[in-house]
Chains A and B, each alone.
Chain A
Amino acid sequence: MSAQNKGKTCFVTIGATAGFSALIEAVLAPTFLPALEAHNYTHLVVQYGKDGETLYRNCLQKIVEADRPTTLQISGFTIDPAGLKSHLLKTKGHSNPLASPGVVISHAGSGTILDCLRISVPLIVVPNSSLLDNHQVELAEALAEQEYVVHGRLEDLAGALAQVEEVRARIEGKQWPPVNSGVHRQAKGLKGVLDEEMGWLD
């Protein structure tokens, strides 16, 4: 990862809680790598979780044995106890004039989504359909509707990658958290609610 000082990074994270082997397989699939190359990506970094190491190694093996070598530099790690913020900033090309800003591909965990929105790095959200209570799909859809993220599907990550540049241009001008508009312009926020409940007079 030290070689990330120039180029364009695709950072993939499956989160800390549940495994998401389908996403690891999809981003290391022989069909997806050429799509990354076509969009000038040079680095692929995969956070594969504590159960994902074997799968990750197997996928790498297949890539090495394939007929067509990839130009991407691929690296991975289980989990970073210090959190993902530094990885997201690196992907964004923060404080590095040589790098082009990259993309994050993530499971639909709200924490990761928020972190990406705050530093406005483009994000492809791929909900983990193997989880039971899948309210994460709703969040991904709602944010994609507001054009903050790309809602990716495992079967068509290459298609999602094609939409990223559009989103990148849009979120440059958008800020997070969004400024409340219209009816909620006068919204008092959490402070207002706490003040009222505390019964403060002024």
Chain B
Amino acid sequence: MFIKAILTLVTTCLLITISLAAYRLHTILSPHRPRPTRKHGDPVHLLIILGSGGHTAEMLSMLSRTISSPDPALQLNWSSLTYRTWITSENDTLSAQRAVVFERETGSEVEAKYRRDMHAPPQKPAQIVTVPRAREIHQPLYSAPISSLRCLLASVVVLVNCAAQGRGYPDVVLCNGPATATIVVFAALVLRFFDVRGAHTQGKLRTVYVESWARVKKLSLSGVLLERVVDRFVVQWPQLAEGGKGRRRRREYLGVLV
């Protein structure tokens, strides 16, 4: 009798927790959740995630095109982004260098920061932080969950430290396909789920994913994983966005961006 009562209680609690969690997920994942409105000149913070090789090349190519577009309607004024944070993987010095070069060409200095001393107030508009790799190139699959978890924890620390600094959380997270980017996006979801430091209520950490230009008919693994959870899902071949049913409705084709 007593046991039965306890079992009923436990089941009820579980059911309530699960439905609340599901409702919470639905709330934080809705692309229609309220966006903050800003006037030009209000401080904003963009987070850019670089991966290895082709991903970094595509990201920088896309950004270069956007800031140097001859059409004023398509041209992004880089300095209108008050704060920029670049995330690269540990040991990927090449990507970090390319980010520094990119910022330098726009006339900005970059702070290289360690995760532990990130609370220091921002000195310069741009900063670079590294997180451990989600997966080494030849790493056996069985140990991937462990390294991914390390990467996830580090990403949460980076984002929370941003919030603790003067910069605040990134308003928008811009990424393409590297494994690290997938993990950082999930870190952003965790923070929004628990509304850590107002990540959800203040409408922070909105996510934009751009699928690789090299993907013509099928999404990459990162694309498949992120399609349901990012706020904007941009593809670069019309074939990927055609037949606007179900999930595909959220895919946007805006032409070639790289």
Contact = CB atoms under 8 A, between A and B. Distances in A.
Interface of A: 16-17, 109-111, 114, 135-136, 138-139, 141-142, 177-178, 180, 184, 187-194, 196-202
Contacts of A17: 53
Contacts of B38: 198-201
A142 B216 contact: yes
Given A142-B216, A177-B255, A193-B232, 19 more contacts: A110-B258, A114-B57, A139-B216, A142-B237, A142-B239, A178-B256, A180-B254, A180-B256, A187-B255, A189-B257, A191-B66, A191-B74, A193-B252, A194-B46, A194-B172, A197-B231, A199-B36, A199-B37, A202-B39
Contact of A139 (B35, B171, B174, B214): B214
B245 interface: no
A135 B174 contact: no
A111 B55 CA distance: 9
B76 A197 contact: no
A192 B254 CA distance: 10
Contacts of A191: 66, 69, 73-76
Contacts of A16: 53
Given A135-B218, A197-B35, A110 B74 contact: no
- Interface residues of chain B: helix, strand, loop or mixed (majority): loop
28 contacts: A110-B258, A114-B57, A114-B213, A135-B214, A135-B216, A138-B215, A138-B218, A141-B216, A142-B237, A177-B65, A178-B255, A184-B254, A187-B254, A189-B69, A189-B257, A190-B234, A190-B254, A192-B254, A193-B234, A193-B254, A194-B46, A197-B208, A197-B231, A197-B232, A199-B171, A201-B37, A201-B39, A202-B40
B253 A200 contact: no
Interface of B: 35-40, 44, 46, 53-54, 57-58, 61-63, 65-66, 69, 73-76, 171-172, 174, 203, 206, 208, 210, 212-218, 220, 231-232, 234, 237, 239, 252-258
Contacts, number: 112
Contact of A110 (B40, B44, B69, B212): B212
B66 A184 contact: no
A91 B224 CA distance: 39
Contact of A194 (B39, B76, B212): B76
Contacts of B256: 177-178, 180
A180 B44 contact: no
B172 A114 contact: no
A199 B203 contact: yes
Contacts of A192: 74, 254
A197 to B, nearest CB: 5
By Cβ-Cβ distance, the 9 closest A-B pairs, closest first, are A180-B255, A110-B214, A138-B216, A191-B76, A199-B35, A187-B254, A189-B74, A142-B216, A190-B66
Nearest to A179: B255
B231 A135 contact: no
A70 B37 CA distance: 69
Contact of A190 (B37, B62, B237): B62
Nearest to B213: A110
Nearest to A184: B255
A114 B37 CA distance: 37
A17 B138 CA distance: 13
Tell me which of A139, A178, A180, A193 has the highest count of chain B C-beta atoms within 10 A of its own C-beta. Answer: A193
B62 A138 contact: no
B254 A188 contact: yes
B258 A114 contact: yes
Contacts of B174: 194
